[in-house]
Amino acid sequence: MPNKWFDEDENITTGTASVRGIFAHRHIPIPIPLADNDLCKFTNPQCEIPAQTEAVYTYDLPIPKYYPRLHIKLRWELKDANRRNIICALIHAKIANRH
């Protein structure tokens, strides 16, 4: 996921990330497993993030070589400990030829 910044009205002590793929002709989100969905491991600063502090989330999502070439939308959600949305991003992506 490209860098995303956010700031919240409450301290963030823990949280999770999830990704769903939305394929071109289907509108049903398909879960895409993350190797690690711990929000705090991929934010700068790391948790506990004080309220009203800008934080950046960065995650590299490896794509297996056997995945076909395609266009996909990724719905990336970051949630706090109470499962409230911190940020929800819709990212248009393309899996292209790899060498």
pTM: 0.78
Q: What is the mean pLDDT of the chain?
A: 84
**Is the pLDDT score of 94 beyond 70?**
yes
Quote the domain boundaries for residue 53.
Answer: 4-95
Q: What is the mean pLDDT of residues 16-39?
A: 89
Residues 6+ away with beta carbon under 8 Å from 72:
21, 22, 23, 24, 92, 93, 94, 95
d(CA 25, CA 10): 39
Q: What is the CATH number of the domain that holds 31?
A: 2.60.40.770
Domain count, the chain: 1
* pLDDT tier, 52 (very low <50, low <70, confident <90, very high otherwise): confident
What pLDDT is recorded for position 3? Answer: 52
Q: What is the mean pLDDT of residues 31-46?
A: 93
